[in-house]
Amino acid sequence: MSRGGARKAPTEPERRCIATGGVQPRAGLIRFVVAPEGRVVPDLLGKLPGRGIWVSADRAALQTAAKKRLFARAAKQAVTVPEDLLDQVETGLLRRVVEGLSLSRKAGQAVVGYEKVRGWLDTGEAAVLIQASDGSARGKSKLRPPRPEGAYIGCLTARELGLAFGREHVIHGALAGGGLTERVVEDAAKLSGVREKIGGETPGKG
């Protein structure tokens, strides 16, 4: 895994973003479909029927696709793009990340709190470092993502992390490796791209 998301096999299917024209693995894209009534719907699970329309998991790309009527061009038909489409994507991704973190906690694959997280980092048990976007920059700088293949999640607020871990708020967390962790990292990378930037950067950089 890396900071940007879960490590992928070279053979993973790729798709073209309708906004940027770039081709990349599906892990970095949001799939949309057109519902029978002609409404554009985000398909975050990738399971809805219909021809997929792909947009990079990037706020600017999604805004471009909506404003320039690129969904209609890709679908080759008239479509309705909801005004809150970007909010739908962000809310759905946030829900998936929080649920994934909650499942990790229940499975014993996650810890929170500065000392516990530091302990996991020191022993090499941590595969992912999680820090609240609104946490103290000075405090967060004392912990660094695991090396060389460790991932970093910094796009959730302390309150949102608290929801995942059954607390009022959480600043520091860590995940062990595994398939569930890879899913959480991938969803978090998408959420980071879709959200307004609020300071979630890798410690020690910038």
Domain CATH code at residue 38: 3.30.1230.10
- For position 10, what pLDDT does the model report? 52
Q: With contact defined as beta carbons under 8 Å apart, do 157 and 165 qualify?
A: no
Confidence of residue 197 (pLDDT cuts 50, 70, 90): low
- Among 37-51, 105-119, 125-139, 192-206, whose mean pLDDT is lowest? 192-206
Claim to verify: residue 53 and residue 95 sit in the same structural domain: no
pLDDT over 80 (residue 173): yes
- Among 1-10, 29-38, 171-180, whose mean pLDDT is lowest? 1-10
Looking at every residue in the chain, the average pLDDT score rounds to: 91
Query: What are phi and psi for residue 53, nearest 5 degrees?
Result: -115, 125
pLDDT over 80 (residue 148): no
pLDDT over 50 (residue 79): yes
Angle between helical axes of 85-106 and 179-194 (0-180°, round to 10): 150
Sequence-separated (6 or more) residues with CB below 8 Å from residue 23 = 14, 15, 16, 17
Which contacts qualify for 46-55: CB closer than 8 Å, 24 or more apart? Answer: 51/75, 52/15, 53/18, 54/15, 54/16, 54/17, 54/18, 54/26, 54/29, 54/30, 55/17, 55/18, 55/19, 55/29, 55/30
Claim to verify: residue 152 and residue 187 sit in the same structural domain: yes
Q: Among residues of the chain, what percentage have pLDDT more than 90? A: 85
Q: What is the CATH number of the domain that holds 144?
A: 3.30.1330.30
> For residue 199, is it within any domain?
no
Claim to verify: residue 20 and residue 109 sit in the same structural domain: no
Claim to verify: residue 110 and residue 182 sit in the same structural domain: yes
pLDDT over 80 (residue 12): no
Domain span at residue 29 reads 14-87
- For position 2, what pLDDT does the model report? 42
pLDDT over 70 (residue 104): yes
* Closest listed residue to residue 13, CA positions, set 26, 28, 29: 26
pLDDT over 50 (residue 206): no
- For position 147, what pLDDT does the model report? 82
Question: What total of structural domains would you count in the chain?
Answer: 2
* Interval 36-67: pLDDT, tens: 999 999 999 999 999 999 999 999 999 999 99
